[in-house]
Structures are given as structure tokens and as C-alpha cells.
Amino acid sequence: MLTSKDVDSVFPVADFVVLAAPLTVETRNLFDRRRQALTKPGAGIVLKSGEQRPWISGHWSKTYNPAIFQALFLMSFMRSLYLKGSSLWHTPNLIVTPHISADDGNTYVDMTLDLVFENLERHLGGKPLINVVDPVFGVFEECRPTG
């Protein structure tokens, strides 16, 4: 696992790259045109969550060359992909999955309610909450950068 500052060394040599990062100031446009050009021909790319925002906005999806990539996966996409006529629906080698595609239908609701009630109990007892999102970084507090 690398930080966003170290990823340039990976793209030219990796057969498959997974970028799974929350959308923060540091990760915005992490897989930009420059890094797309660095990518090894034939590589597979997975963009999870906020990292795909440039695709959805059309920032560089028009320059995407499907001949370079074995496959491009967009996971946790935003509502704008649902728009009828979006060019992304016709992008070769592109696989799109919704944010909930990894959710377990048997346990998701129970686990979510457990978290809600745990935090309610903590709040009423004056204890710190768990899974709190840091508004500055846009990630859970335990995931934010240190130092």
C-alpha cells in the first residue's frame, strides 16, 4: 500500500492497480491524465469511491484510450452516472458497479443498526462516538492523516 505521493512508481510496472481512497484534497484527481499516460499498456485499473469524480465530470474520460487498459472498473459511482445518454455507458472495457455491490444482504441492515444504537448509547452516556466523519478530510476520524 502506498500514499498518494508514491503512486507514480506503480503505474508503469503494475499489471493491475486498485485506487481505493476517500475523496479528500490530497486524493482529488489522483488518477489524472498524467498518471493515465504513465500506466502500463494492458493494465487493469479499479477506481473506488471518490477517485472516479474526474470520469463522471468528463474531466478526462474523453481522452481515455480503451486500447491501453485491459479493464477499468468504477465502483461506488455517483448518481450522475444514471443520467440517460451519459457517454460512460458506451465506454469500452469499462465495468461499473454501485456502491452497495459489496454489501451483504443478510447482515448489512443488522450491522448498520448495531452501529446506530451503539452510537446512541455512547452519545447518551457522554462517551465518544465511533465511525465519526472528519469534516475537513471527509473520512472517518481513524482514517485521517496523522502528523
- Cβ atoms 12, 40 nearer than 8 A: yes
Does the pLDDT of residue 142 top 70, yes or no? no
Of residues 7 and 3, the one with the higher pLDDT is 7
CA-to-CA dists, residue 56 to 43, 49, 79, angstroms: 21, 11, 9
Ordered alpha helix ranges (H), 23-146: 33-38, 53-57, 108-124
User: What are the extents of the domains in the chain?
Assistant: 1-101, 103-147
- In the predicted structure, residue 143 carries a pLDDT above the cut 50: no
Maximum pairwise Cα distance, the chain: 57
Instruction: Report yes or no on whether pTM surpasses 0.75.
Output: no
Question: For position 117, what pLDDT does the model report?
Answer: 94
pLDDT in tens, 39-68: 888 888 877 755 455 555 455 556 566 777
pLDDT tens digits, 108-129: 888 889 989 999 999 999 999 8
Average pLDDT, integer, range 9-32: 80
The yes-or-no verdict on residue 81 having pLDDT over 80 is no
What is the architecture, at CATH level 2, of domain 1-101?
Answer: 3-Layer(aba) Sandwich (3.40)
